[in-house]
Structure 1
Amino acid sequence: MTAPDSTPAASPSRKSIFVASFIGTSIEWYDYYIFGTAAALVFGQLFYPDFSPAAGTLAAFATFAVGFIARPLGAAVIGHFGDRLGRKSMLVLTLLMTGGATFLIGVLPTYAAVGIAAPLLLVILRIAQGFGVGGEWGGAVLIATEHAPPRKRAVYGSFAQFGVPVGVLTSNLAFLAVAPLSNEDFLAWGWRLPFLASLVLVVVGVLVRRRLQDAPEFERLKKERAVSKVPVAELFRRDPLTLVLASLAAIAPPAIGYSVIVYMLTYGTQVVGFDRPLLLTLILLSTVVWIATIVVSAVLADKYGAKPIYVIGAITAVVWPLPMFAMVDTGSAGLAFIAFCVAAIVQGLIVGAQGRLFTEIFDVRVRYSGASIAYQIGGMIGGAITPIAATALFAAYGSSTPIALYLTGICLISLLGVVALRVPDHAEEALPAASDG
């Protein structure tokens, strides 16, 4: 790969790249995570009231999982057009799609009002959410890394990664804001407010992203008419092994993350006995550690290479589930907070290196498709299945140990995937540098 000719004036500043990548991703993950929080807290009662509490929770988590199933499809479709038309237009589209679906969930009638139509509409909107998010991460990471100076790709790639913990932080804050409501008011209308607030956030995100421009590297491909005609087909034809291994490598962060931010909301309140506001607060505070670890990991990945840092993070993901559940099971808020903070460190180590690693292993012609599909398949396996598997395992065994062993097993798969990944020799070539102005 040869660095394209570009002038510094043609490149956006680091500040503008950060704002566009971080704000949009934060908004989209806010939209996504408030659904997970609502699935754990209210959707079972409001949309599946005829089920038993356990079955209603499973049904709500299954609806949550539908979004993950849509994410690889969104990654393939949006990645296709991102590799052909450009990153900017797709990032605006994903924001509109995800935010619009989230707002509509906020005005959705419940089962008591329209019967079976309510959960069906919820599933449809969840699919739209997942489809939009499917194309978000890859584009947000690439718009940053493809503008990055050669030795700062991980730091630039981490701009989009901040959106994940910030999405958790803001979604938890939104539900904490309505937590003081009585249970009747919370079920009647309080849960809707975080969804309705999404409309304002989306308007801000679209205004920011409209100012984006694609990196010179991709613009050069377009100018030379060298873009891939069918990027996904080319990806599967030229390098299917990299796609498979990257997908496996992407399992661990969502597996650990969703076990905390989604499943723990049910397990911690219904089994261990934590108060809902307290548990939300503990998870919220742990996101600060998550963000800080992403920064440290990205700096180390630029210094020592993305793959070694990713491997270290994957090892911690294998080790931590058993101690994490043991600490939560004590019922001690202090120990639970430590457990969540270490889980945040586990995720931060991996995702701080992930943007650079996934940019380096895929050729620019198929990079949007490859990075997006791998990330979303890993998210589907690690994120969609984990809350369902955890709920079913506890129902079957009445213990957190099988859940922890399950997490250890799928994180081990992730570790093996990243160890087997090959980073091409040309990965250390300079990408077009952004101005520091």
Structure 2
Amino acid sequence: MTSTTTSPPAMTPRRAATAALLGSALEYYDFFVYGAAAALVFNVLFFPSGDPAVALIGSFATFAVGYVARPVGAMVMGHFGDRLGRKKVMLATVVMMGAASFSIGCLPTFDQVGLLAPALLVVLRVVQGFSAGAESAGASTLTVEHSPVGRRGFFTSFVMVGYAVGCSLATIVFLPVALLPAEHLYGWGWRVPFWLSAVVVVITYYVRSHLDETPVFAEAKEERAVRKLPLSDVFKYHWRSVICVAGASLMAAMQTLFAVFSLSYGTSVGVHRSAMLAVISGAIALSVFTLPAAGYLSDVIGRKRTMLISSVGCAVTIFGYLWAISTTDVLLIGVSAFINMTLFFSCYNGVWTSFFAEQFPAPVRFTGMAVSNQLGNLLAGFAPMVAAMLLVPGPSGWLPVAIFGAVAAGIAAVAVLGMRETSKTPTEMLGGPRAQPTNPKPSPAGTKRTVEAVTD
């Protein structure tokens, strides 16, 4: 008697990388636009006039709220990503993110509706964070599972190439807005970048809707290895990986200090906002080249070695970057930004997308990466607000902020040391040593491997 099995979907790494890039571009377009608006606009339009420092901290607090919502989004959307499939959830995240961003551009200001204005801003920021909590992890999981061994780092690095593309697009849109006279900037100009996110949503949804489910998930579903409660399995069997990935994710604080806090700090010491936007976006835009190079390098010399180089480099160069801003010398700021962001941070940013996903087995990969990554990202969300409170008057007032960033990078480096090297590990073996099958029911064909629970 002959049994038949359904052929799993074919690996399409290039198409998966493109879909991941576009989704990440939308996420980070919204991230950069919101961060720029929080630093330059929201403190004026959405908070009572009075102490500018208090208004700025309140504005940065709404930025941080999105990061508080991310772990919740990671748990909920990660659950469905491991239960229903990567593709369906990735379509949902795009729609949610786009709808929230467009709606922010339609909000009334404090002068129009009072405290309702910041309340509505917080609600929509929560929706953004809920969606973003699953976006990077889902895109990374999808690309890792579509990529061949020895190339996973390279292809999955395009998730963060989307970060560079999204921030560049945001700058192209926001820079001319920032140059508007104050009455136009605070009147209608700041709304335009949020409205234009709808264009990215349409393109991303189209590309993702034409992408197949990953072969790994399709096989797990056929073999009845899909977990009923992925989150429970993650904390029961993979808690060490959760701790390490969460710790390694603290490195994201370097990103928010660079892209959000430094914009506010630069303008406060006399650097024109358009110059700071140009420097920040230029350094990030150049990462389009260094991010895939970092992913390729991690396939050759290993994920851990590449990320440790980044951690040490960023911890040192954040001092030079903030000092350069204090001098108000735009050329010096640009050079230090290139070293800190384009070179060193890219060695981390181009690798974590594959490395974190590879720490978990297929049945819980989406949930495991999403939850642990977003728990660590909480610090990143609050980093601009913490930095604003640490900043003190005087030429060296930036020093406590630099120490804060260096400590975050140091903790991330220690966490990376505790993780398993995975650059050469076969995809089906990712997640660590095998335990007893959690789903003893055999595959209908009786010939394929059973996807098993994994313990650290």
TM interval, shorter chain, is over 0.9
Between stretches 47-56 and 395-404, larger displacement belongs to 395-404
**Structure 1: which amino acid aligns with 2:192?**
L
CA-CA distance at 1:317 after TM superposition: 2.2
- Between 14-23 and 104-113, report the one with greater CA deviation: 14-23
The Cα offsets for residues 393-436 of structure 1, whole Å up to 9 and x where unpaired, read as 114787011111111111111111111123479x611469xxxx
What are the residue-to-residue correspondences of 1:26-105 with 2, within 5 Å? 26-105=25-104
Partner secondary structure for residue 162 of structure 1: helix
> Counterparts of 1:424 and 1:229 in 2: how far apart (Å)?
27
Unaligned runs of at least 5 residues, structure 2: 430-456
Note if contact 1:290-1:347 (Cα within 8 Å) is conserved in structure 2.
Answer: no
**Is the counterpart of residue 286 in structure 1 residue 283 in structure 2?**
yes
Aligned residues of 2:28 and 2:163 also touching (Cα < 8 A)? yes
Contact 1:149 1:431 survives alignment (8 Å): no
Match of 1:400 in 2: 398
Which structure's relative contact order is higher, taking Cα pairs within 8 Å and 6+ residues apart?
1
Partner of 1:323: 320
1:176-227 alpha-carbon deviations (Å, 9 max, x no partner): 1323321111000100000011122211111111111221111111011111
- Aligned partner of 2:371 in structure 1 is 373
In structure 1, what is the Cα distance between the partners aligned to 2:318 and 2:350?
20
Superposed CA offset, 1:312-358 (max 9, x none): 11121222221221122111111100111112122210022212211
Name the amino acid aligned to 2:81.
G
Answer whether contact 2:12 2:146 (CA < 8 A) is retained: no
Q: Residues 35-434 of structure 1 correspond to what in structure 2 (within 5 A)?
A: 35-252=34-251, 254-271=252-269, 273-344=270-341, 345-381=343-379, 383-395=380-392, 399-423=397-421, 428-430=425-427
1:153-182 Cα shifts (integer Å, max 9, x gaps): 001111111121222211122111323321
Letter in 1 for 2:275: L
Q: Secondary structure at the match of 2:146?
A: coil
- C-alpha contact 1:32 1:129 (8 A) present in aligned 2: no
**Aligned pairs, how many?**
423
Measured against aligned partners, the alpha-carbon deviations of 1:124-148 in whole angstroms (never above 9, x if no partner) come to 0000000000010011111111010
Name the amino acid aligned to 2:312: I
Once the 2 structures are TM-superposed, how far is the Cα of residue 20 of structure 1 from its aligned partner?
A: 1.0
Counterparts of 1:267 and 1:6, CA distance in 2: 58
Q: What do the CA deviations read for 1:278-297 (whole angstroms, capped 9, x no partner)?
A: 11111121113322221211
| Structure 2 residue matching 1:18: 3-state secondary structure | helix
Give how far 1:378 is off: 2.1
Q: Determine if contact 1:291/1:348 at 8 Å carries over to the other structure.
A: no
Task: Give the Å deviation of 1:7.
Answer: 6.5
CA distance in 2, matches of 1:340, 1:244: 30
AA at the equivalent of 1:365: P
Q: Identity of counterpart residues, as a percentage?
A: 34
Q: Could you say which structure has the larger radius of gyration?
A: 2
TM-score by length of 2: 0.89
Deviations 1:2-43 (A, max 9, x none): xxx9979x4254432222111121012212221111000000
For residues 15 and 299 of structure 1, the distance between their equivalents in structure 2, rounded to whole angstroms, comes to 15
- The one-letter amino acid paired with 1:373 is V
Counterparts of 1:20-31 in structure 2 under 5 Å?
20-31=19-30
The answer to which structure has the higher helix fraction is: 1
